[in-house]
Structure 1
């Protein structure tokens, strides 16, 4: 499969042959959804916690005598039914992460790439390099390409000027190819890959 390669200025820079096994799959929403759930669950902090009756700083003395008051038989004011008492069955600090097979994770990334190509939301740029770290110049280049909500994936090492110029632009993310993931691909409208990123991805999925 041959795809058109462009420059940041919007000019054609030839063609690039890409693998059908990486970019030509028929996208499956169920596999992509499983991967997104896996990523979001792993990202969740899980630091929510309430105090049980054992953790409340309050006297443990019996509230009043057992018999003769006509009232219910209570002991400590730390019990959950009292204001200021502990919480029964409240949330505790835990990990929300769950397992997903490595093969499914790799397959989900290929399906996400194929989905972007099928939706005509994938652009290949010859090189993600900026001569100067100037946000205004990069904004002009992106508007020329019609990019307002985009994820850039560069090679193993990102160009410093390009990264600095892009980091202040709203709805624009820049990642090295090692950081490519399904959730970030889907949360941006367009996906822009450098030639180096395409070659690295095809090598990875050989």
Structure 2
């Protein structure tokens, strides 16, 4: 499959051949859903905590005697049914991560790339560099390509000026090719790959 390569100024920069096994698949929403769910669960902090009755700082003394009062039998006031008492079955710190096979993770990335290409939301550029770290200048170059909500995937090493210029633009993410992932691809309207990023992906999935 041949894809047109552009410059960040919108000019043509030739073409590049990509594999149908990476960019030409029929997107499957079930696989994309599984990978996104795995990503979000893995990054969840899991630091939620509520005190149980043994951790509440209240007296351990029995509220009143067991018999003869006509009231219900109770122990100390840290029981969950009392105001200021511990939480019954409250959340505790834990990991939300769950397993997902490497085969499905790789397939999810391929389907995400294929989905962007099928929806005509994928652009290949010659390189992602900037002469100086000026946000205004980079914004003008993005507007020439019709880019507003975009994820830019560069090579193994990102251009420092380009990264600094893009940092202040809302809805613009810049990642090296090692950091490409399904969630970031799907959360942005457009995906921009540099020529070196495409070559790295082809080599990675060979």
TM-score of the superposed pair, with normalisation by structure 1: 0.99
What secondary structure does 1:133 align onto?
coil
Which residue does 1:88 correspond to in 2? 88
Alignment-derived partner of residue 139 in structure 2: 139
Separation of aligned partners in 1, 2:68 and 2:31: 66
What residue in structure 1 maps to residue 182 of structure 2?
A: 182
Runs of 4+ residues deviating >2 angstroms: none
For this pair of structures, how many residues does the alignment match?
Answer: 206
Residue correspondence of structure 1 range 17-36 to structure 2 within 5 A: 17-36=17-36
Deviates more, 1:168-177 or 1:37-46: 37-46
Instruction: Return the alpha-carbon distance in structure 1 between the equivalents of residues 12 and 113 of structure 2.
Output: 22
What secondary structure does 2:165 align onto?
helix
**Residue segments in structure 1 that go unaligned for 5+ positions in a row:** none
SS of match in other structure, 1:196: helix
Aligned CA RMSD, in angstroms, stands at 0.5
> TM-score, structure 2 length as denominator?
0.99
Matches within 5 A, 1:85-124: 85-124=85-124
Q: Following the alignment from structure 2 to structure 1, what is the Cα–Cα distance between the partners of residues 32 and 72?
A: 56
1:79 alignment counterpart? 79
- The gaps in structure 2 that reach 5 residues or longer are none
Task: Give the match's secondary structure for 2:123.
Answer: strand
